[in-house]
């Protein structure tokens, strides 16, 4: 019974890690969108003479920083999907079931916390 509880706890933990990394990836994706738009607007302001060239460099550096963070979050998300696949088996019981990339955790209740 203790072994079963350990497996269930590990599966539960893997699920919530996956859900957390999914949310983290979404946050960084939104940061990249906003930062990309900011970079575009700063370049326009520089072309119009309203901003210094240094502002465009800073905006681009911020965008690249968020892109790196987004890529790292995607790696963590994919690794957590592989981890949760360890607990999912085909009906025949011979191989693990890999989650498709478009499969997402139920995160509706995250906003209610």
DSSP string, 24-73: HHHHHHHHHHHHHHHHHHHHHHHHTTSS-HHHHHHHHHHHHHHHHHHHHH
Q: Is the torsion defined by CA of 17, 23, 29, 34 positive or negative?
A: negative
Q: Closest Cα to residue 80, out of 10, 4, 31, 33?
A: 10
pLDDT at 31 over 90: yes
Full-model pTM: 0.82
Question: What is the predicted pLDDT for the residue at 111?
Answer: 63
pLDDT at 8 over 70: yes
Question: What is the predicted pLDDT for the residue at 14?
Answer: 93
Written as six digits, the tokens of 10 are 């590990």
Tens digit of pLDDT for each residue in 41-99? 999 999 999 999 999 999 999 999 999 999 999 999 999 998 988 888 777 776 677 77
pLDDT at 30 over 60: yes
Q: What is the mean pLDDT of residues 20-38?
A: 97
Q: Left if phi > 0, otherwise alpha if psi is -120 to 50, otherwise beta: which for 49? A: left
Question: What is the predicted pLDDT for the residue at 99?
Answer: 75
Question: What is the predicted pLDDT for the residue at 95?
Answer: 66
Question: What is the predicted pLDDT for the residue at 110?
Answer: 64
């Amino acid at each position: 019974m203790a072994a079963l509880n350990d497996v269930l706890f590990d599966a539960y933990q893997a699920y919530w890690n996956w859900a957390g990394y999914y949310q983290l990836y979404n946050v960084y994706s939104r940061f990249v969108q906003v930062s990309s738009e900011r970079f575009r607007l700063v370049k326009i302001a520089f072309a119009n003479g309203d901003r210094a060239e240094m502002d465009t460099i800073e905006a681009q550096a911020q965008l690249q920083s968020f892109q790196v963070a987004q890529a790292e979050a995607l790696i963590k998300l994919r690794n957590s999907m592989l981890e949760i696949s360890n607990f999912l088996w085909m009906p025949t019981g011979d191989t693990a079931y890999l989650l498709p990339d478009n499969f997402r955790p139920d995160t509706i209740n995250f906003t209610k916390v």
